[in-house]
Amino acid sequence: MTTQPPAVSVVVPTYREAGSLPLLTQRLAAVRESSLPELELLVMDDDSRDGSLEWARASAPEWLDFIVRTERRGLAPAVVDGIARARQPLIVVMDADLSHPPERVPDLVAALTDDIDFVIGSRYVEGGRTDEDWGALRAFNSWVATVLARPLTSARDPMAGFLAFRRSLLDEAGPIDPIGFKIGLELIVKCGVREIREVPIRFSDRHAGESKLNLGEQVNYLRHLARLYRYRLGAGRRRLSE
């Protein structure tokens, strides 16, 4: 018996990624050809006005949907919108700047078994790594952010934005209302994720363009964390009163 390759919607949030979108699409096209023929790509763009839309109109393949967003801007809200539009049963979320290797998408998808409901492309498990020029300050920031989230999840890399899960995971979710960047943490907490598998990846420096992770986003992270802790405490109380 031959098994069909799984159908996957890849959701990519973008802001000013015109320099990376063509190569991302090219590398995903190769993945599509070699192992995931039913892959669709949803680019969720916050009205970048940097030539991305023009590129998509002129050169994008038919399996790429380029969606221009003008409301509730931000990385995580863009991903939530993308999941709502996805047509396939499996979802992969990844960044546009090629920090997440597109060639690992099939491995993340394959790690979603009956027992595993959430997969993370992880920098912090054995075999995972980040490129050298991640400065000390950035590495420290990432470590502090991860430690602050520890009571919410045992995942080694809950800050990651390279994720795979079934779309149905959201069916029973609490209200999804992330602020800022950390869509993975939002889903882990709100969807009551039970079993996580972390697949090691090499996280590369961004291919082109500029980082959007600024001080404002770090403050957003603290607001988002406060919200998630309140939600978790509320869920605990709800369980006790049942």
Write out the residues near ligand GTP by the rule CB under 6 A: 13-15, 17, 44-46, 73-75, 78, 95-97, 99, 161, 206, 211-213
Query: What DSSP designation does 241 have?
Result: T
82 near 13, Cβ under 8 Å?
Answer: yes
Helix then strand then coil, % of the chain, to nearest 5: 40, 15, 40
The secondary structure element, H or E, covering residue 57 is helix 52-59
Sheet-wide strand order for 39-45: 64-68, 39-45, 8-14, 90-93, 163-166, 118-122, 196-200
Q: Measured from the CB atom, is 15 or 124 closer to ligand GTP?
A: 15
Q: Tell me how far, at minimum, the Cβ of 147 lies from ligand GTP, in Å.
A: 17
Question: Residue 46 or 117: which CB sits closer to ligand GTP?
Answer: 46
Phi-psi sector, 178: left (phi>0), alpha (psi -120 to 50), beta = beta
Nearest residue (CB) to ligand GTP, 96 versus 187: 96
13 binds, among Mg ion, ligand GTP, none (CB under 5 to 8 A by kind): ligand GTP
Binding residues (CB under 5 A) for Mg ion: these are: 95, 97, 99, 206
Partner interacting with residue 46 (select from Mg ion, ligand GTP, none; CB below 5-8 Å by kind): ligand GTP
The residue at minimum Cβ distance from ligand GTP is 211
